[in-house]
């Protein structure tokens, strides 16, 4: 099950949405991602803390094993293949864990308030500040703090390799990550994770940026295919 607002957000930004149900193996994940122009990793349940080497907090949800495995696999392959990637809420946490990072399992224990949670069955609002020298700031160029829809009780702790923090809540919680320094393989293309829920708001700019990057990848793929076809074409000489 997926909230339909994600599909709406992609379509309104000019993209075509295809849902990828969990349960496939790594080979399927690789082949599936290779056929995509972009990937949106959505919100959802808590990641099993065994995935990042931690004991379970009493407030951490029961594991969704199939979804954890699938989301981590498709995210990893998107990074490997340079497929434009937007990761939202749990998706940002998946991105971080897939790069060896860890999570705070229950933010109220750390920050002493429940601003991040929102109401029990809905979304709240809180403010985040974006680093002015980030790629994210070129998409959301506001000065100072911006107000965003929120509903989460977990967040990035130790950053994964190849990621850098580029937005924070007023309490210091990391609210966005993008491609950064790495000791291993670098990322090519669009890589962005946000802890808030842009699909629940009225600002389409992050989805527009993803779809634009996806169109760019598709166009580059078509150009490469045309060059390959031209190089392999044999012309018979006229007698």
Residue 39, beta-bridge partner list: 85
Provide the b/e sequence for 76-103 (b: ≥16 CB within 10 Å). bbbbebebbbbbbbbbbbbbbbbbbbbb
- Active-site residue flag, 170: no
Q: How far is residue 37's CA from residue 185's CA, in Å, rounded to a whole number?
A: 21
> Among 165, 132, 130, which residue's Cα sits nearest to residue 147?
130
Of the listed 169, 175, 178, 199, which one is catalytic?
199
Q: Cβ atoms within 10 A of the Cβ of 109, count?
A: 11
- Active-site residue flag, 98: no
Of the listed 28, 57, 89, 224, which one is catalytic?
89
- Active-site residue flag, 89: yes
> Among 72, 83, 237, which residue's Cα sits nearest to residue 160?
72
Q: Give the CA dihedral 180, 199, 33, 177, nearest 10 degrees.
A: 10
Of the listed 126, 151, 197, 224, which one is catalytic?
197
Active site members: 89, 197, 199
């Amino acid at each position: 099950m997926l909230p339909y607002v994600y599909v709406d957000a992609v379509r309104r930004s000019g993209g075509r949405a295809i849902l990828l149900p969990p349960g496939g193996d790594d080979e399927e994940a690789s082949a599936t991602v290779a056929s995509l122009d972009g990937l949106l990793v959505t919100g959802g349940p808590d990641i099993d803390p065994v995935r990042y080497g931690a004991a379970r907090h009493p407030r951490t949800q029961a594991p969704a094993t199939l979804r954890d495995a699938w989301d981590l696999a498709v995210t990893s392959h998107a990074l490997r293949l340079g497929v434009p990637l937007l990761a939202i809420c749990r998706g940002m946490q998946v991105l971080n864990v897939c790069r060896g990072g860890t999570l705070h399992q229950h933010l109220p224990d750390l920050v002493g308030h429940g601003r991040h949670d929102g109401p029990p069955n809905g979304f709240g609002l809180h403010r985040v500040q974006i680093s002015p020298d980030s790629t994210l700031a070129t998409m959301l160029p506001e000065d100072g703090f911006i107000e965003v829809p929120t509903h989460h009780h977990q967040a990035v702790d130790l950053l994964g390799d190849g990621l850098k923090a580029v937005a924070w809540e007023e309490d210091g919680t990391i609210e966005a990550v993008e491609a950064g320094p790495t000791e291993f393989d670098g990322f090519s293309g669009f890589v962005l994770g946000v802890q808030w829920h842009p699909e629940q708001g009225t600002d389409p700019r992050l989805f527009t940026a993803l779809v634009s990057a996806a169109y760019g990848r598709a166009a580059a793929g078509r150009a490469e295919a045309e060059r390959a076809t031209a190089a392999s074409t044999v012309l018979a000489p006229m007698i």
